Amino acid sequence: MPRMVPHTAADPHAVAPDAGMPATEAADSREMSTRERFRGLLWLVAAAFFMQALDSTVVNTAVPAMAEALAVTPLGMRTALTSYVLTLAILIPASPWLCDRFGTRRVFGAAIVVFGLGSLLCGMAQTLPQLVAARVVQGIGGAALMPVGRYVLVRSIDRREFVRAMSTVATFGLLGSVLGPLLGGAIVEFTSWRLIFLINVPVAIAGVWMNKRDMPDYRLDRANRFDLSGFLLFAAASALLLTASELAGSAPVPWLRMGLYALVAVLLGTIYVWHSRRTPYPVADLQLLRVRSVWVSLAGGLFTRLGISGMFLLLVLFLQVGCGWSPLMAGLMMVPQALGSIIAKWAVNRALVHYGYRRLLLGNTLIVAALLAAFALLGPGSPLWVIALLTFAYGAFAGLQYTTMNTLIYTDLDIKHASMASSMASTVQYLAMSFGIALSTLLMEAMLQGHAHEDYVVAFRWTMIMLAAITAVASRVFSRLRRDHHPLSGAA
């Protein structure tokens, strides 16, 4: 594979750093210039990750209070969560074409503005449908943040430094996960849940300023034609499939309508597969699935996130509704998870070099599944330190899992496929998250025999066991990697 080198937007007014300098001073100047530009880009992408992570964790903590204010059940709030994540999944495939057509700087800046506007609308929502609509606006903006950020890092950073750079950026994003539960709990307990969305607005303003200063402007002189037909097929199939899963939570269940939606979704998905093979520039290039590390990363990530995406929403409901904890205490108990993820991400590079992708993902997936099952042992009388230790351990191994899966997809691809791979990885990630949240809440709703505190505890325990079993399936997918598949090995 050719070595990736940093790319920068050309500045016609820039003066060559080595003009009139000795060779050693010129080299030092170029190195310092690259380091400063690299630092600014990392801060910018980290700010976007921070904003999204803050929004996700804050919302989870505030779900019971939001449900009470909007006159719905806590589990009924899943629509407000899945609508945002599904919007991300549907719109992310358009990000590579938007970057090629309008440039990474414009697309990233516009995404930050729309995300901030959506956050403002969420804070003003008066009903659940209004909140869902505002979350869709948030999703429209957020759809470009992560894939464009990853794509720019892939284009700008040497391949040997990519895992470390992703870990650094993800760590700053995890700071949002640390602050989110605390802010969410404190805001809900002492002020209004509406502020949990409004805190994104100043972060968005800072992001717009940083984007103008630090974001390189990658684009093509002539963008390829956008695959509108493929985009509509994929969007319709995803939306119908999630709608069918939402109908499973209705009482009584409309089996005929649910089955019809699912059947049409599968049909549209099949048509897209046929369509993608006959268009030169598909919205998702399924030819990349011929690369083993690509399809293993996507399939393994899908099963993993189906099992763990809704876990912390259920844990918040277990602590607040089942155990009677305050929002602040429940939010505080989420902090060890984020701290564990931060600590683990600093060790991922060394772990990959020592174990390789196959051994690390095989073992770590089973550990994550076992930790999920361990949550079934908790109850209202469980000591605080036991819950904190378990959430810390889970956060550490889940963070290791996420970072490893996110970097695996790029290991065997040429740089010309980086944009498409980033789009496909983010699409599968958010699609799996939306279905994971829906699946976990539907399972807990099915296990719920009443609305007393002890009913939520029992339903939580059984749901954790089933989610652990789903997560363990992913280990079978990761076993398809080559035994010698290490970072930079080039093994497919």
Tokens of 327: 């929002």
Residue 299 backbone dihedrals phi, psi, to 5 degrees: -70, -40
Tokens of 384: 């605080």
Which pTM value belongs to this model?
A: 0.76
- Provide the Cα torsion 321, 323, 328, 334; round to 10°: -100
Which residues lie closer than 8 Å to 58 by C-beta, 6 or more apart?
A: 180, 181, 183, 184, 187, 196, 197, 199
What pLDDT was estimated at residue 446? 84
pLDDT in tens, 47-84: 777 777 777 677 778 888 888 888 888 887 888 888 88
Q: Round to whole Å and give the CA distance between 262 and 258.
A: 6
pLDDT in tens, 419-477: 677 778 878 888 888 888 888 888 888 888 777 778 889 999 999 999 999 999 888 88
Q: At what angle do helices 78-91 and 128-142 cross, to 10 degrees?
A: 30
17 falls in which pLDDT band (50, 70, 90)?
very low
Q: Which runs of E-coded beta strand occur in 223-312? A: none
**Among the four given CATH numbers 1.20.1250.20, 3.30.365.10, 3.30.70.2740, 1.10.10.10, the one describing domain 37-226+283-478:** 1.20.1250.20
Residue 422: closest CA among 237, 166, 203:
166
Mean local confidence (pLDDT), 466-491: 75
Q: Round to whole Å and give the CA distance between 216 and 156.
A: 9
Tokens of 431: 């699609």
What pLDDT was estimated at residue 32? 41
HSE on the CB side for 470, CA within 13 Å?
A: 24
Residue 447: closest CA among 322, 261, 303, 308:
322
Number of Cβ within 10 Å of residue 357's Cβ equals 26
Considering only residues 172 and 371, tell me which one the structure prediction assigns the higher pLDDT. 371
Q: What is the DSSP letter of 286?
A: G
pLDDT in tens, 92-111: 778 777 887 888 888 988 99
What pLDDT was estimated at residue 2? 36
Taking 60 as the threshold, does the pLDDT of residue 31 lie above it? Answer: no
pLDDT in tens, 238-265: 888 888 877 776 666 677 888 898 899 9
Residue 237: closest CA among 188, 276, 277:
276
Residue 390: closest CA among 453, 325, 315, 444:
315
The percent of residues in the chain predicted with pLDDT above 70, rounded, is 85
Considering only residues 421 and 19, tell me which one the structure prediction assigns the higher pLDDT. 421
HSE on the CB side for 459, CA within 13 Å?
A: 26
pLDDT in tens, 207-235: 888 888 778 777 766 666 788 888 899 88
